[in-house]
Amino acid sequence: MNKLVKEIEARLQGISTTPYLDALFFVEAYERQQKEITSCDVDDFVKRIQKKEPVSKIVGERGFWALDFKVTKDVLDPRSDSETIIESVLSYFKDKEAPLSILDIGTGSGCLLISLLYEYKNAKGIGVDISDKALQIAKENGLDYNASFFKKDLFSKDFINDLPVFDVIVSNPPYIPTKEIENLEENVRYYDPLLALDGGIDGLDAYRSLAHSLKHLLTPGGKIFFEIGKGQEKSVIALMKDKGYTLLEERKDLAGIIRVLVFSFEGK
Ligand SMILES: C[S@@+](CC[C@H](N)C(=O)[O-])C[C@H]1O[C@@H](n2cnc3c(N)ncnc32)[C@H](O)[C@@H]1O
């Protein structure tokens, strides 16, 4: 294996900024999937890396928290920044045996919900998304967990209909302002679905809509965990406070950027 990694690493010199890691990840993913690597596979891999396709999308999987998730062009590649949500939930709900009910809005690959269900073995959860194709991937990723996945549009008036109340609501909604999308790195712009990125003119459309609905979906003591983009904290906190929510925490990711906001709702 080491020899193959070295050979592929050599072919990626000048093409990738992380040739060793890309080569290692490629070889390890094939091993996990018990597939043999042919020279055609390697040629194809090098070509796709040259076109800035993320390794995860090429091999069809990405590690997040403690698990490997199936990923395709139809889902956002799970990001390590989003693990901040999992850390935050764990810090508020310390009893890992608790039978929590969890809602994940804009579930994508299902990585947030499924990682939480991995941590809280007695919990159950619902993941919703507007994308049928993403929901299909989430369902496959969630087969071993007490998870259900449904199509729902977070902007629709009847979003809360048919949903019970939840102890934990997590969401990493699309939050990139529309105009900034053309400036994103190629590996994001071309290989993550636009639906997962575009947050409207100021990037805040989803939070505005969720501020209306989520208060109706919380158990007493229930909490909301939002992932946000860099510098969005003031605006999101303001629009949530305006609808009566209480801010509990601004949590930073490993790069020191405020990445997760935690809210409760005590009002009526
Ligand atoms: C930033 S991605 C997050 C995916 C995943 N939760 C994660 O953290 O990796 C946002 C997700 O929201 C979904 N989405 C976009 N618009 C939506 C809408 N109107 N209603 C529900 N989900 C939506 C997208 O399809 C995408 O899967």
pTM of the predicted structure, to 2 decimals: 0.95
Q: What per-residue confidence (pLDDT) applies to 220?
A: 95
Percent of the chain with pLDDT over 70: 99
Q: How far is the CA of 172 from the centre of ligand 1 (A)?
A: 7
Cβ pair 226, 192 in contact under 8 A: no
In the chain, which segments carry CATH 3.40.50.150? Answer: 73-264
pLDDT band at 268 (very low <50, low <70, confident <90, very high): low
Cβ pair 19, 55 in contact under 8 A: no
Of 31-35, 78-82, 143-147, 194-198, the range with the lowest mean pLDDT is 31-35
pLDDT tens per residue, range 113-166: 999 999 999 999 999 999 999 999 999 999 999 999 999 999 999 999 999 999
Amino acid identity of residue 136, one-letter, is Q
Q: How far is the CA of 252 from the centre of ligand 1 (A)?
A: 21
Task: Report d(CA 225, CA 227) in Å as an integer.
Answer: 7
CATH number for region 73-264: 3.40.50.150
Q: How far is the CA of 110 from the centre of ligand 1 (A)?
A: 10
Burial 19-43 (b: 16+ CB within 10 A, else e): beebbbbbbebbeeeeeebeeebbe
Q: How far is the CA of 11 from the centre of ligand 1 (A)?
A: 35
Pocket probe for ligand 1: among 65, 82, 176, 195, the residue whose CB has the most ligand atoms within 8 Å is 195
Our CA angle for 205, 210, 215, nearest 5°, is 155
SS3 72: coil
